[in-house]
Amino acid sequence: MAAALVRPRNDRMIAGVCAGLARRFGTTPGKVRVIFLLSCLLPGPQFLVYLAMWFFIPAEGSSAKSW
């Protein structure tokens, strides 16, 4: 069973979105951060998606129900 998608309290750089995605998909946070930075070189709403994920993904240990 895969880990729930939450933003961890440790291993954060800004909001924990990349660390949460890395934990969910079984990879390292560094790889997800590099992929995100490289994707920002392409045209598109990547930064807005990051902000939305920061808002919608619950923090680890919060009372919010994770998806």
> Distance between CA atoms of 67 and 53, rounded to whole angstroms?
12
CA atoms within 13 A on the CB side of 7: 20
pTM of the model: 0.81
Domain boundaries, the chain: 17-56
Q: Compute how many other C-beta atoms are within 10 angstroms of the C-beta atom of residue 19.
A: 24
What is the per-residue pLDDT for 49? 93
What is the reported pLDDT for 9?
A: 87
Phi, psi of 59 (to 5 degrees): -75, 150
pLDDT per residue over 14-57, tens digit each? 899 999 999 999 999 999 999 999 999 999 999 999 999 999 99
- Taking the C-alpha atoms of residue 67 and residue 57, their distance in angstroms, rounded to an integer, is 9
pLDDT at 52: 95
- Sign, Cα dihedral of 47, 22, 60, 1: positive
